[in-house]
Amino acid sequence: MIGTDIRHAAALLKSGQVVAIPTETVYGLAANALDAEAVALIFAIKKRPAFDPLIVHIHSVEQLRAFTSGQVTTDAIRLVQTFWPGPLTVVLPKAEVIPDIVTAGLPTVGIRMPAHPIVRQLLSILDFPLAAPSANPFGYISPVNAAHVADQLGEQIPYILDGGVCQVGLESTIVDCTTSPCKVLRLGGISIREIADALGYTPESLTHSISNPRAPGMLTTHYAPRKKLILTSDESVFAHYAGQPEIAFLRSCTPFTGHKIQYLLSSDPYDDRKAASRLFSLLRELDSNPHIKLIIAERVPDHGLGSAINDRLTRAATELL
């Protein structure tokens, strides 16, 4: 069921159930982060491996101190003051009250304060934080509207809180603040340049794939359509496939002359924020079109949110050329 009743969503969450919620990044599959049994339902519904940690969503900076242990680092304070509420997750040592299932047994927890007004209102009337990965089957394209959630998980969850289309369209940037200097674990809705400006230095990026990730979204294959997707920066690849039926081109902003089925992430001139907001919707549209058998995607310019977009496309790709 899709609706806008915040209090109904809150009642379901208080009873230990799972609810889909809107955020400015993507829709989340939420449960009481302090209830291990409720959190286990998230893993079961998503078919998510237990080694992949979840992000905890809060509504105030005071809660950050309540759900972490030790002193909040200077870097974390700078980032929180600059980007919260917003698409930033900080990783800090976890408080004992956070169940191990949330953090995949790690001694650290990722926490963020979302900016979407509906989820902020929801969090404000709850006396617990929400653990919430993206509201989609594990490894598939993240949902950016309520219909996306309903298409894939609607029969498995009692309620989808509808907050419209997600404005950012990429998951949060995750920064590990347990080390000095801190490190970026996942590229996302805040660019490396913005992070660097807030910190006064450019942090190292550890977004490479690993089998036991320190944060969500670090696996080799993720955010992927079921159809084959080739990712390239080589115009000769597009020339090779141009004119062939049942093949779609996903381009940054400029169509390739001589091909019929083309989708553009941005109008010309290229806008990285518009491209980010359209990425998952277009991947879903391409994947659901029965007339398309193969997707050829173009890497976007690698500046601003371009690095995060290319990261998602790389993880979604079947082949890199």
Known binding site for ATP: residues?
48, 108, 134, 186, 223
Gap between the Cα atoms of 248 and 244, Å rounded: 9
Going edge to edge, which strands form the sheet with 262-264? Answer: 262-264, 247-251, 294-298, 228-232, 319-320
With a CB cutoff of 8 Å and minimum separation 6, the contacts of 77 are none
Tokens representing 104 are 């995949």
**Which residue numbers belong to the known binding site?**
25, 48, 57, 108, 112, 132, 134, 142, 172, 186, 223
Element (H, E) at 90: strand 88-93
Sheet of 88-93: strand order equals: 2-3, 160-161, 19-21, 28-32, 130-131, 55-57, 108-112, 88-93, 173-176, 183-186, 204-205
CB distance 143 to 170 below 8 Å:
no
Q: Is the peptide bond prior to 107 cis by the omega test (within 30 degrees of 0)?
A: no
Contacts of 144 (CB under 8 A, 6+ apart): 26, 27, 165, 166, 169, 277, 280, 281
End-to-end CA distance of the chain: 42
CB burial string 286-298: b at 16+ within 10 A, e below: bbeeeebebbbbb
Instruction: Give alpha helix (H) positions in 51-191.
Output: 61-66, 74-83, 100-103, 117-124, 146-153
Q: Is 236 exposed, middle or buried (0-12, 13-18, 19+ CB in 10 A)?
A: exposed
Q: Provide the annotated binding site for L-threonine.
A: 25, 57, 112, 132, 142, 172
Strand 28-32 to strand 130-131: parallel, antiparallel, or no bridges (unpaired)?
A: antiparallel
